Amino acid sequence: DSGVTQTPKHLITATGQRVTLRCSPRSGDLSVYWYQQSLDQGLQFLIQYYNGEERAKGNILERFSAQQFPDLHSELNLSSLELGDSALYFCASSVELRGSGNTIYFGEGSWLTVV
Amino acid sequence: TQLLEQSPQFLSIQEGENLTVYCNSSSVFSSLQWYRQEPGEGPVLLVTVVTGGEVKKLKRLTFQFGDARKDSSLHITAAQPGDTGLYLCAGVNYGQNFVFGPGTRLSVLP
């Protein structure tokens, strides 16, 4: 158990819909990362937050957005869903923003299926 | 854009065999991490290597960071079915962004 909690674990929704994925980081971790993993694309970095502020952006679509709340939990919002958005979405957290050897811990993922 | 390549992409071996997987980049990283991911689960950190030339051992797994901090290898001795999984390397750059490789999918047959 990494200490990172993600909900829901599985989600099936129709094209055009909107879903919210939730992540609680490990206790004490200030950084939260979101990743998308699909069979053909591997693990793709979406976005990172540190202590409530956006810190880095990766290959995140404009239809997707995220935020980190004062209690440090984070949500990833996916809208106007398309079949190609079906994937495993991982949240990860780490304790510090900088420093050599920084380690990130992954949750078990939210499996999204768009039909 | 920093990219990490991993080879081989797929590897299927018999129990008891040895294997080495590689992680290569043209970029320099402040550290490099190896993760193992099993189906339906998130990646789990195996090791972090920080110093160029560093070698770390974790039971039957040996990790090496290249002298130039651009590449790494993972050697498994006497592989077991429990080693089956997706092995991911992740480079950490000096801005603390994590770059993941595409992974090596290992299958160890009993």
- Does the CB of B104 have a partner CB in chain A at under 8 Å? no
| pLDDT for residue A98 is more than 80 | no
pLDDT: which is higher, A65 or B2: A65
Mean pLDDT on B87-103: 83
SS3 B10: strand
pLDDT at A99: 46
Query: In angstroms, how far is the first alpha carbon of chain A from the final one?
Result: 31
- Does the CB of B100 have a partner CB in chain A at under 8 Å? yes
Which of B31, B40, B103 has its CB closest to that of A100?
B31
Chain B nearest CA to A51, separation (Å): 15
pLDDT at B15: 97
Subunit contact A109:B41, Cβ cutoff 8 A: yes
Which of B43, B97, B101 has its CB closest to that of A56?
B97
Chain A residue nearest residue B9, CA to CA: A42
Return d(Cα A108, Cα A6) in angstroms, integer: 7
How does pLDDT run across A10-65, given as a tens digit for each residue?
Answer: 999 999 999 999 999 999 899 999 999 987 778 888 999 999 999 888 889 999 99
Mean pLDDT on A65-80: 97
Subunit contact B44:A106, Cβ cutoff 8 A: yes
DSSP 8-class letter at B81: G
Most confident range, picked from A38-42, A58-62, A92-96, B85-89:
B85-89
pLDDT at A101: 55
pLDDT at A39: 76
Return d(Cα A54, Cα B7) in angstroms, integer: 33
| pLDDT for residue B73 is more than 90 | yes
Sign of CA dihedral A2, B30, B59, B73: positive
pLDDT at A67: 97
Q: C-alpha dihedral over B19, B78, A108, A99, to 10 degrees?
A: -70
- Above pLDDT 90, what percent of chain B? 74
pLDDT at A97: 59
Return d(Cα B12, Cα B19) in angstroms, integer: 10
Mean pLDDT on B24-30: 90
| pLDDT for residue B99 is more than 60 | yes
CB pairs under 8 A between A and B: 55
Q: Quick one: pLDDT band at residue A69, thresholds 50, 70, 90?
A: very high
